[in-house]
Amino acid sequence: MSEFENIGRSLNNVGNSNPFGTPKGYFEALPARVQEYCQPQAQKEPVRLLNVLKAQVALVVGFCFLAVMSYWGYYIVNPSFSTPEVTSTDYVDIVSKHVTEYDEAQLVEAVEAMEPINVYDSIKKDVSDEMIQYLLEENVDYVSLMEQYK
């Protein structure tokens, strides 16, 4: 306990004086200073129509830009395809899949409008392609063969 007694004696020697203080006349001048801050400041610059419209126009331009970019982005991702015209052969294909929806007169008209298909031409083309491929692989001169068989 002697330690506490030593501390108490040293504190008694310090005294009751406050080491901190305020400047002279501070509290007397405080109400006047507060009133100065509460007074309205000098009139600000008047609001002009141009300043108001500038913000509104910027908002409209930004919205339009967003709308254009959205529209453009949508059609990049989902391009529109033009619908092809339906020909008579397409008509026959459609009718063959949905025959119950057409009457006999429409079917006859569509078949008559079809161009005749020559199966021999397609076979001949396939065979000639195969022959040319064979001649190229075997390194046979095609021109000399044509002259020989004329």
- 88: which residues sit within 8 A by CB, 6+ positions away? 110, 113, 114, 115
Copy the structure tokens of residue 129. Answer: 């392609």
In a domain, 22, yes or no: no
pLDDT of amino acid 82:
62
pLDDT of amino acid 57:
93
In a domain, 13, yes or no: no
pLDDT of amino acid 67:
94
In a domain, 129, yes or no: yes
In a domain, 1, yes or no: no
- For the question of whether the overall pTM of this predicted structure is more than 0.75, the answer is no
pLDDT of amino acid 65:
96
pLDDT tens-place string over residues 93-105: 776 777 666 677 7
By residue count, the chain amounts to 150
Task: Give the integer Cα–Cα distance in Å for 146 and 132.
Answer: 12
pLDDT of amino acid 18:
77
- Number of folded domains in the chain? 3
Residue 87 domain boundaries: 83-116
**Beta carbons of 89 and 114 less than 8 angstroms apart:** yes
Helix (H) or strand (E) holding 17: none
Looking at the structure, tell me whether residues 75 and 90 fall in a common domain.
no
Looking at the structure, tell me whether residues 103 and 122 fall in a common domain.
no
Task: Give the integer Cα–Cα distance in Å for 7 and 13.
Answer: 10
pLDDT of amino acid 16:
74
pLDDT of amino acid 119:
58
pLDDT of amino acid 40:
72
pLDDT of amino acid 127:
64
Low pLDDT (below 50) residues in the chain:
none
Looking at the structure, tell me whether residues 68 and 94 fall in a common domain.
no
Task: Give the integer Cα–Cα distance in Å for 70 and 66.
Answer: 6
pLDDT of amino acid 22:
86
pLDDT of amino acid 44:
66
For the chain, how far is it from start to end, CA to CA, in angstroms? 138
